[in-house]
Structure 1
Amino acid sequence: MDVLTHNFSLYGAGFLGTVELTVYASALALVLGFLMAAFRVAPIGSLRVLGTVWVTVLRNTPLTLLFFAVLLGLPRFGVVLPFQVFAVLALGCYTSAFICEALRAGINTVPKGQGEAARSLGMTFTQTLGSVVLPQAFRSVIPPVGSTLIALAKNSAIAGAFSVTELLGTYKTLNELGHDIVWTFVWIAVGYLIITLSISALFHALEKRYGVAR
């Protein structure tokens, strides 16, 4: 307990850093995931190819390698941003591929007749997707999207290796101060539990209200 009470500000900074990474990267992942899912079911071939390439490349690229590519590669091309922003980009882009596939799976559960009926009424692809297909698909993708964002929160620990303030990285300072490494990691684990259980509770509430009845 002394590890926590004597270093509460350090743990707090790491906890808030992880929360910020999770929130910002989740927002980016949801936006990109939605966009790529729309591309993958679009009637335009070039958009479908772009969506497929995006998902295939990112799902099959180790996240650590993506961090190296973003945090160390982009500055070589003159893109200089705070490391936290680079970390959000890496996490958000990586997770968007999994969000995209979850959304696409949900879209595929919507009967084709729904889209055909919308088009027969003169609705465009964008209108059909936004007003007819996605509202129905949303109900079935709540659990997998929630699980993906929980994984994102845990994946944010990689950012600590790239000088980004986050929860897991606090163990280095605490270890140097001579604190018991076991209790150091116990409190780090508690911090991650708070974050992941909060996300789980949020999506459980969403599923209870909007999910498909079982």
Structure 2
Amino acid sequence: MGILFEDGNFALFRDGFLRTVELSAISGVLALLIGVLLAAFRVSPVPALRAFGTVWVNTFRNTPLTLLFFAVTFGLPALDVHLSSFVLAVVALSAYTGSFVCEVLRAGINTVPLGQAEAARSLGMTFGQTLTTVVLPQAARTVVAPMSSVFIALPRNSAVAGAFNVAELFGVQSILSERGYSIWPIFFWIALAYLAISAAVAQLFRFLENRLAVAR
């Protein structure tokens, strides 16, 4: 188990861990923004927006993440869009995770009684005002638990980025394996790191769930 403290391995592991946290955090924020926007599209009274949201969600939810990484990594440069490997990974993870966030939010929106929206419209509120001030705040309380599952999975999904030139935790295990270290201690430390990240995300959502429960 002393592999972590040999020949500069700790610095390598630390950098990979921090890169995974950074990748997950940025992708998570963008996925949340994308998910909220798509959820608004999917319940919009405008047919074109509903169609766009439906196509986006069905496309990205049913596309393997590895295939999506391939499409972003090799497709965007073919369109003369040149970005770093890290930014490309953020694009892929945000688009993929955002589709799941959208569906969780849409399920929460459907739990809000229709009379709430009708009452808001009777007061002269627009669709956007009704959604942001009446519907979404109520829906948020019902989706914290299922939303936690989406964001707990995000750091694990980010491991795919290691195969596309992003120096995160998956990339660390590849380097250590190439140096001839046994797979079991590598697996132990990498798994422990992912467990720590997942536990931190779970604790954050547990805190949010408790705060929203008190606010009821």
| Structure 2 length-normalised TM | 0.96
Deviations 1:110-158 (A, max 9, x none): 0000000000000000000000000000000111111101111100000
Which residue of 1 is the match for residue 173 of structure 2? 171
Residues in 2 aligned to 1:177 and 1:65: alpha-carbon distance in whole angstroms: 29
Contact 1:160 1:166 survives alignment (8 Å): yes
Q: Report what 1:93 is aligned to.
A: 95
| 1:212–1:48 Cα change, 3 Å | farther
Contact 1:54 1:97 in 2 (8 A): yes
Gapped regions of structure 2 (runs ≥ 5): none
Deviations 1:92-119 (A, max 9, x none): 0001110000000000000000000000
Counterpart of 2:128 in structure 1 is 126
Q: Does residue 160 of the first structure (1) align with residue 162 of the second (2)? A: yes
Per-residue deviation at 1:212?
8.5
Looking at structure 2, the residues matched to 201 and 177 of structure 1 have their Cα atoms a distance apart, in angstroms, of 35
Given the alignment of the two structures, is residue 185 of structure 1 paired with residue 187 of structure 2, yes or no? yes
Structure 1: unaligned runs, 5 residues or longer: none
Runs of 4+ in 1 over 6 A off after TM superposition: none
Q: Does residue 2 in structure 1 map to residue 2 in structure 2? A: yes
Stretch deviating more after TM superposition (121-130 or 143-152): 143-152
Contact 1:140 1:211 survives alignment (8 Å): no
Cα shift at 1:4: 1.1
TM-score (normalizing by structure 1): 0.97
Specify the code of the residue in structure 2 equivalent to 1:47. Answer: L
Aligned to 2:78: 76
Q: 2: distance between equivalents of 1:201 and 1:144?
A: 14
Quick one: percent identity of the two aligned structures?
58
Hey, what's the Cα distance between the residues in 1 that align with 2:55 and 2:47? 12
Q: Describe the shift of the 1:207–1:145 C-alpha distance in structure 2 as closer, same or farther (beyond 3 A).
A: same
Aligned to 1:143, which of 137, 145, 165?
145
Displacement of 1:209: 1.2
Q: 1:168 to 1:73 in 2, by over 3 A?
A: same
Match of residue 34 from structure 1: 36
Is 1:208 the counterpart of 2:215? The answer is: no
